[in-house]
């Protein structure tokens, strides 16, 4: 059985204008909400009839196996070129679920809006036997590109001058934004800084689109295990104040991190107490967690903590984060992709915020999606900082 749809339908058909992507031969599929590429003002009304199974009728009156997919009377040209499977009530499913009872609906393609519509099979063969006719829509305005900021379904997008949704890290009117592969703007963009960064103009950083900063307050050397305060916590920015204080005064949300080389729970507690003392002396109230920075030494495997096994590492994480939470702060764990895969178990970091570092091509999302913060680059230049910096995003 096919869809339960009326015997006769009039529908609107939308196409993306020339110059937008994708363009050309595209498949008909349902549009949910507003198509972010164009205004809903199609130039033609298309009329068709369906048979008992809800499939398009051919010109000779016989029923095809092509089911029109619709939402609020709108058909739209899109990207997919697949074979879809549906239950008798029209809801999508898989061939595996239906088994031998599977009903196969083949995708068909249509060219741009025209007075004559031709459906094209997936193999490229044109089938003009469908009884689909067109008339001009007297109420339609010319299709036009949607550009600039777009609010849709509670999400924010940005379309460039060609009408394409932007993705990745973009500078728009002097401010940085991050957009996921679907074009959805991320909630927050941030940096992390340490001794290795130069003096920072935090007001310029904020004005450039940065929402938060995570500051290294201290660490332990990887060879001899000596605790040290990170000078970045106290270095003057051009707008005054230490890194923590300067970022806070400029209106950024602020977090902190400790670079660990603890080899047991006792040292982990010592590291937590050391970080807490620095934060107390800074007088800054954090908006974000205190993160435990776990990574291999610069000369693996010579580092004192490089060879900890999974259980030793779990004990260290639990001891540090427990002490941080005991002091009333939220705790988090930072590590790179390789370290996470080799030296941490997900169940050991699950109770805490996860700050995950992996640098992908074209800012493609990592395979692991259990992070709270993603450090996606270590070499971004931003306003207010003379050197490259790490960049992070919160979705």
DSSP per position, 345-368? -HHHHTTSEEEEE---GGGPPPS-
For each successive 10 residues of the chain (395 residues), what is the average pLDDT? 30 32 26 35 58 72 63 33 48 61 41 43 47 57 70 88 89 97 95 89 97 98 96 60 88 98 99 96 95 96 97 99 99 98 96 98 93 98 95 98
Residue 218: burial class (beta carbons within 10 Å; 0-12, 13-18, 19+): buried
Confirm if 183 and 158 have CB atoms less than 8 A apart: yes
pLDDT score at 46: 55
Distance CA 198, CA 191 (A): 14
Q: How far is CA 259 from each of CA 96, 122, 268, rounded to the nearest angstrom?
A: 49, 55, 11
Confirm if 88 and 25 have CB atoms less than 8 A apart: no
Residue 40: burial class (beta carbons within 10 Å; 0-12, 13-18, 19+): middle
Q: Which helix (H) or strand (E) holds 109?
A: strand 109-110
pLDDT score at 59: 67
Query: In this structure, what token pair is assigned to residue 143?
Result: 């299709």
Distance CA 333, CA 341 (A): 14
Distance CA 111, CA 15 (A): 8
> Where do the domains of the chain lie, and which CATH numbers do they carry?
8-144 (no CATH), 166-394 (3.20.20.80)
Burial string for 355-388 (b: 16+ CB within 10 Å, else e) reads bbbbeeeebebeeeeebebbbbbeebebbbbeee
Confirm if 286 and 254 have CB atoms less than 8 A apart: yes
């Amino acid at each position: 059985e096919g869809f339960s749809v009326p015997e006769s339908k009039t529908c609107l058909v939308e196409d993306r204008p020339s110059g937008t992507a994708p363009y050309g031969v595209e498949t008909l599929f349902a549009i949910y909400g507003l198509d972010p590429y164009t205004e809903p003002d199609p130039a033609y009304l298309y009329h068709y009839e369906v048979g008992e199974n809800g499939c398009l009728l051919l010109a000779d009156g016989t029923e095809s196996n092509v089911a029109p997919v619709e939402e609020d009377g709108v058909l739209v040209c899109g990207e997919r070129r697949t074979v879809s499977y549906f239950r008798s009530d029209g809801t999508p499913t898989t061939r595996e679920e239906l088994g031998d009872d599977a009903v196969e609906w083949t995708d068909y393609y249509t060219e741009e809006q025209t007075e004559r519509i031709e459906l094209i099979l997936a193999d490229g063969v044109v089938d003009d036997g469908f009884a689909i006719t067109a008339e001009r829509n007297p109420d339609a305005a010319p299709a036009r590109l949607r550009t600039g900021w777009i609010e849709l379904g509670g999400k924010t997008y940005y379309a460039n001058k060609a009408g394409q949704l932007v993705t990745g890290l973009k500078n728009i009117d002097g401010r940085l934004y991050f957009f996921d592969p679907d074009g959805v703007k991320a909630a927050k963009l941030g940096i992390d800084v340490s001794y290795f960064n130069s003096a920072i103009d935090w007001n310029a950083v904020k004005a450039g689109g940065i929402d938060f900063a995570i500051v290294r307050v201290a660490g332990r050397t990887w060879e001899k295990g000596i605790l040290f305060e990170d000078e970045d916590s106290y270095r003057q920015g051009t707008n005054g104040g230490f890194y923590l204080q300067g970022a806070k005064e400029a209106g950024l949300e602020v977090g902190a991190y400790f670079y660990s080389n603890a080899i047991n729970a006792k040292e982990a507690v010592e590291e937590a107490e050391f970080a807490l003392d620095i934060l107390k002396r800074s007088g800054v109230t954090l908006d974000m967690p205190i993160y435990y920075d776990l990574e291999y030494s610069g000369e693996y495997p010579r580092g004192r903590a490089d060879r900890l096994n999974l259980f030793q590492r779990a004990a260290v994480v639990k001891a540090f984060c427990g002490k941080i939470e005991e002091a009333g702060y939220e705790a988090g764990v930072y590590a790179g992709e390789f370290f996470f895969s080799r030296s941490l178990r997900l169940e050991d970091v699950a109770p805490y915020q996860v700050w995950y570092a992996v640098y992908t091509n074209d800012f493609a999302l990592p395979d692991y999606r259990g992070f709270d913060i993603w450090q996606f680059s270590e070499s971004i230049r931003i306003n207010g900082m003379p050197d490259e910096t790490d960049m992070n995003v919160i979705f």
